A and B are shown apart, each in its own frame.
Chain A
């Protein structure tokens, strides 16, 4: 979000001093402006990229960065790769050494109100064996530009974390996958859980977990429950692994989705009695993987459980 003050200043002089009057006009009237920016990726983790190769997330996993203007007027959007600061780094990654490794296509465009545009995120890995087994992070900053008369702008920072394989790609291999599914809600918080009582997740959420095939072809999906250690996530401070203290069950865990089809997932969570769990907080990950493709593609939903 950006807010703008237009400031007009006039100066008056007298013998000893200059008086400055700054007139700050109110452009931002109640209910006159409202809106924002939305994008489809908060963080993506890619494993085993090969040196000397260029990858597009769109061709690698049918995963563009979809950016939507939720403002009520047109905006100009820029998508820029940024080298993350120390505080922005996650999962032990190093910042990419050179911004030429990353690019977005297109990197600037105009979006009408409520319009969405798909942007290709591209990574180019230099042909350097010193990069074998390294882990890097680049942030893609999607942001609107302030324009005359357009007093709102917004920014979103999408993290791309990637590892590099310890060998080169085999000649002629073109890895492709398809992550054309949504998995909602992306975060689930279960509050006031009592040990010894089995809860239906959909009852606690007042809605089911839903996976939808957003592509125009049939996809096979497999669900897995992962501890944070097994997944490409890290435990938030103050949280412990849910799967080591409780039991989470999902059904179904293997299914096929026709184009556009949605599947509701049922789940239960149970923390056994007798363990000192009161007041503790737990987390795990549900991974929805699109299987049988040459690139392994998956999407996460995080579950947080707070024991009463």
Chain B
């Protein structure tokens, strides 16, 4: 009798848990895909010229690159650079051989060299998003409306000295993201 009772209890518990499993089972939810922001686009035109510069000098580009948000949503620009083979970008005044600094500023007209600061305008190999202060002049690369343009100016701080005699290439990248 006791054995039968024990078996009944075990069966009842087993039935309870199996029922619970059915009650608690969750069906997989439907996958949904939402394009919350459509086309991104960025373009640029315009000359950039530095002419001839000497060691330890700083030079502001003679003209701007015009950057256009030709997408259909608001965009924020991030800036980065790629070092040439033997030079290294620094985010302070170059103080050693083979070091240089390249600074960028969004400004409607030609900015003065002094208006660039290493803290806010120096480029590095890490992409940095524009903000109210980052790369800001009297324009910013933050939340640029569709169809709007920005003028991007550069300041180049040459190395104090260099052993390089071959041609160098510095690449600046502007990446647009929504927002």
- Chain A residues near B (Cβ < 8 Å): 1-11, 17-24, 26, 28-50, 57, 60-61, 63, 70, 87-88, 90, 139, 141, 143, 146, 152-159, 165-170, 173, 175, 177, 179, 182-187, 231-233, 287, 294-300
Neighbour of A11 across the interface among B35, B73, B82, B162, CB < 8 A: B162
Task: Tell me if B166 and A8 are in contact (CB < 8 A).
Answer: yes
Task: Tell me if B42 and A5 are in contact (CB < 8 A).
Answer: no
Q: What is the bound-complex CA distance between A166 and B27, given in angstroms? A: 9
- Residue B67 at the A interface, CB < 8 A? yes
Top 8 A-B residue pairs of the complex, sorted by shortest distance between their CB atoms: A36-B43, A42-B37, A155-B175, A42-B178, A20-B55, A24-B50, A38-B41, A296-B32
Q: What is the bound-complex CA distance between A290 and B35, given in angstroms? A: 12
Determine the chain A residues whose CB is within 8 A of the CB of B127 once the complex forms: 155
14 more contacts with CB within 8 A, not counting A22-B159, A170-B28, A177-B31, are A1-B43, A2-B171, A11-B163, A20-B158, A22-B55, A26-B51, A28-B48, A28-B65, A40-B39, A47-B32, A153-B171, A159-B178, A186-B72, A299-B38
Q: A9-B164, A187-B74, A295-B31 are in contact. Are A42 and B65 (CB under 8 A)?
A: no
Which residue, of B38, B42, B73, has the highest number of chain A Cβ atoms within 10 A?
B38
Q: A24-B50, A39-B39 are in contact. Are A169 and B28 (CB under 8 A)?
A: yes
A-B contact pairs, 17 of them (CB 8 A): A2-B172, A5-B50, A5-B168, A22-B55, A30-B47, A40-B39, A42-B40, A44-B33, A44-B34, A61-B33, A155-B173, A156-B177, A157-B175, A186-B38, A187-B146, A296-B30, A299-B35
Q: What is the bound-complex CA distance between A34 and B161, given in angstroms? A: 34
**Which B residue sits closest to A43, measured CB to CB?**
B37
Which residue, of A1, A21, A295, has the highest number of chain B Cβ atoms within 10 A?
A1
Task: Tell me if B178 and A43 are in contact (CB < 8 A).
Answer: yes
Task: Tell me if A57 and B72 are in contact (CB < 8 A).
Answer: no
- Chain B residues near A (Cβ < 8 Å): 26-55, 65, 67-68, 70-74, 78, 82, 84, 127, 129, 146, 154, 156, 158-179
Task: Tell me if A48 and B30 are in contact (CB < 8 A).
Answer: yes
Q: What is the bound-complex CA distance between A22 and B166, given in angstroms? A: 10
Neighbour of B168 across the interface among A9, A32, A154, A175, CB < 8 A: A9
Name the distance in Å between A192's Cβ and chain B's nearest Cβ: 16
Task: Tell me if B31 and A49 are in contact (CB < 8 A).
Answer: yes
Q: A1-B65, A11-B163, A22-B54 are in contact. Are A57 and B33 (CB under 8 A)?
A: yes
Determine the chain B residues whose CB is within 8 A of the CB of A17 once the complex forms: 161
Neighbour of A22 across the interface among B52, B146, B179, CB < 8 A: B52
**Which A residue sits closest to B143, measured CB to CB?**
A236
Q: What is the bound-complex CA distance between A41 and B154, given in angstroms? A: 30
Name the distance in Å between B135's Cβ and chain A's nearest Cβ: 13
Determine the chain B residues whose CB is within 8 A of the CB of A141 once the complex forms: 175
Task: Tell me if B52 and A23 are in contact (CB < 8 A).
Answer: yes
Task: Tell me if B171 and A70 are in contact (CB < 8 A).
Answer: no
Task: Tell me if B173 and A153 are in contact (CB < 8 A).
Answer: yes
**Which A residue sits closest to B84, measured CB to CB?**
A7
Q: What is the bound-complex CA distance between A153 and B84, given in angstroms? A: 16
Determine the chain B residues whose CB is within 8 A of the CB of A187 once the complex forms: 72-74, 146
